[in-house]
A and B are shown apart, each in its own frame.
Chain A
Amino acid sequence: MESDWHNYNDSFADNYYIHVTTRIAAGSFTWQDGHSALSKDGGRVMLECTYPHMDDNVSVSPKPAPVSKALPAVTPLNPRRRGIIIGASDGLGAALARCLAREGYTLALLARRSELLELLCDEINRASNENRAFAYHHNVAEYDKVPDLLRKIVSDLGGLDLVVFLAGVNHPPGGMDKYNFENDRKMIEINLIGAMAWLSPVAEMFQSAKAGQIVGIGSVAGDRGRVGNPGYNTSKAGLATYLEALRNRLTRHGVNVLTVKPGFLKTEMLKAAQGVTPFAIPPEKAAEDILKAMQKRKQVIYTASIWRWIMLAIQHTPSFIFRRLSF
């Protein structure tokens, strides 16, 4: 291997990719600095470097113009609300992100799956022709990372008016006679403790600012403990109670806390539900319901709204009947 340095100056490297092609087989090898990507090209190894280290087969191609990450200037005549959506990569989160971006929100979108998030941000920003959505990789179970990330996002967005927590997992035990502590624990860790890790600092900030809006996505499954999925029921019931407590603390400070209880949504999570899934609605419809409820500063909504009446009946079903049911 040659190890000569090419003398490309900084501004050249800023504007051009420099491709260095070698005949080395793919494997692990270390470059001194600068390589940014590695790909196979017909048996050859293609390296994209800022500063190539060798002589053979060097070619250059222009870099695409850098994409501005700048926020649009916020003025009295161009006001913006800033929101965080935790769990935004697909399903209801993505639908809500699109919906709020259309409303003019500037959004921080959080999820574990970075590629999906990037695609979503790209789609939203292109549709609105300005930077309205920004992706942040985050795993809700990493509670310790929340304070720093929250501060960074608030700084990046230039303030904070809305936080939507909808990260959630559903791991059913797989039958009325099956028990799975690991699954239950995961659901509590993400659906409940994850929410508390985010909403606790957010509540303190909003209480202090005497403004803001918190939206938590619970579930109709939290309204009653049922035979199918005790862990999930518990996580969502806990979340609903937690949100109610925040509401009771924060309403007097001008902060709105909205609990959303979706029924069945036509998303990935629906596949986890066993049996029939009546009144399933597309996530876009649920996102619109949530937006309307946010604008009216409601406290608890069901989506689709028919679930309010279904759950009313289920909640009032006496235990001596309910414990004999297998649903």
Chain B
Amino acid sequence: MSLPLNTFTQLENFGHSLKASSYRIQIKKTEDIFEAFQLAKKLGLKVTPRGTGISYNDVSLNGGGIVLDISGMNQILEWEPASGVIRCEPGVTLERLWQFVEPNGWWPPIVSGTMKTTLGGCLSTNIHGKNNFRAGPIGEHVVEFTAMLPTGAVVTCAPKKNADLFHAMISGLGMLGVFTSITLKMKRIHSGLLSVDAWHAPNLSRHLSGLLDNAPHYDYIVGWLDTTARGRSLGRGQIHGAQQLKEGEDPNPQETMQLKVQHLPDRLLGVMPKSYLHYFMNPFMNNLGMQGINMGRYVTGLRRHTFRQSHAEFHFLLDYVPNWERSFGRGGLIQYQSFLPKETAEDAWREMIRLSHQRGLPSYLGVTKRHRPDNFLLTHAVDGFSLALDFKVTDRNRAKLSQMLQDFDRIVLEAGGRFYFAKNSETSCETARGFLGDEVIARFKKLKKRCDPNNLLESDLYRRVLG
């Protein structure tokens, strides 16, 4: 195997705010991974696995090195409709997965806000969904996985088999080995629809208590936060709690579980193709425009209401407007997500949102969720909440934004918070050490030395936060 120059590719993050050129090698089968490791070793290059490449940051970027594109390893290997256990290759996307299992009355136990993610990527970052407070991260639903280590060894891990590696490779950012097959347990559903309650929260305090108090009554809960509201309304927003329908509640489950019911419409009002929508959103992507849009959204959601929504529509909000991230313009966008214990979250986020107003750098979109801790090595979870803030990046605001996010990091660390390695793009080495702790990093490095003695696996993210 050689490294042809025409594999050189410019890769980006989801927000189009980061570019890095690498040699992209398409992986079709397990042996290709081994060959790629051998090649990298021979040429002195580093390797990073990459799925569909839609993380917000540099977790799947490896400037100047080799990127293993595993999206071609996308076969579903085994499916047992009776027990809901499925074995897939790592390049299978959540989209393929839910469309495959839903007609049989199953749904993936954990999904991200977009269905474009691959299972390999989901495990590497240990994604969570809107049911994190109940179901934990995706790692808790993995029955078993196999992975190839840079040494060429293929390991099988399960919660009780190679448990240390199991809990480190899930959340391990692809830096210990490359997944070759993943076995997951699906979740039983009795309808293709969810029952959704929507209500508003007039301020941050009510917003967080709304999430905390209502979470036990729902399967899924998620908040939208008006990042532009100030004063007494600071932190106001809207909360959506969703419950799965129980057996018998949906008179026609076979019909609602059909894919056509789940299909996200690709035209707005049946006329305008949604793929053009981002051009029309672009003019509103400034402080004033987003203040208007956030306010409009809050006001229209004031009435408490209940409705039924398909699984796909409820979960995959990020896919509702294709290429919406393009509307952020040339500089793209970044997301800053912080996870805070329920005791300190309110004060810390109030301080952060105020700071963003003072500095004229309001976030354009805020999303809150309820979380619980898990026992994976590089975990981001806390017994509390998360707040994800989207920021537009421009040539003029880079320095100011960078300074503000450093201040955010300090506030979050002081409040005992954590960060998620699929999201934040500015986390420094010191910040990572601040919330992971030296002991966890030492344990991870020890496993890394065992699995990857030649340090072949390195991503831009790894060099930035753990290098």
Contact = CB atoms under 8 A, between A and B. Distances in A.
Interface string B361-405: 000000000000000000000000000000001000011011001
Interface stretch (B9-17, B85-93, B224-232): B9-17
A155 B44 contact: yes
B405 A159 contact: no
B64 A157 contact: yes
B271 interface: no
B11 to A, nearest CB: 9
Interface stretch (A14-22, A43-51, A129-137, A205-213): A205-213
Contact of A78 (B15, B46, B331, B402): B402
A157 B65 CA distance: 10
A62 interface: no
B429 to A, nearest CB: 8
Contacts of A65: none
Interface in B59-98: 63-65
A160 B5 contact: no
Interface stretch (A69-77, A116-124, A217-225, A266-274): A69-77
Contacts of A210: 10
Given A74-B20, A76-B332, A157-B64, A208 B425 contact: no
Given A73-B428, A75-B18, A76-B425, A158 B63 contact: yes
A82 B20 CA distance: 10
| B: interface residue count bin | 35 or more
A92 B388 CA distance: 48
A201 interface: yes
Interface in A78-106: 78-79, 82
A56 interface: no
Interface in B315-361: 331-332, 334
A160 B21 contact: yes
Interface of B: 3, 5-10, 13, 15, 17-22, 43-46, 57-58, 63-65, 331-332, 334, 393, 398-399, 401-402, 405, 425-426, 428, 460, 463-464
Interface of A: 73-79, 82, 151-152, 154-161, 201, 204-211
18 contacts: A73-B464, A76-B332, A77-B334, A77-B393, A77-B402, A77-B405, A78-B398, A79-B398, A155-B64, A155-B65, A159-B19, A159-B21, A201-B5, A204-B6, A204-B8, A205-B8, A208-B8, A209-B10
Given A75-B426, A208-B6, 17 more contacts: A74-B20, A74-B460, A76-B398, A77-B393, A77-B398, A77-B399, A77-B401, A77-B426, A79-B18, A154-B21, A154-B64, A155-B44, A155-B46, A159-B20, A201-B5, A208-B8, A209-B21
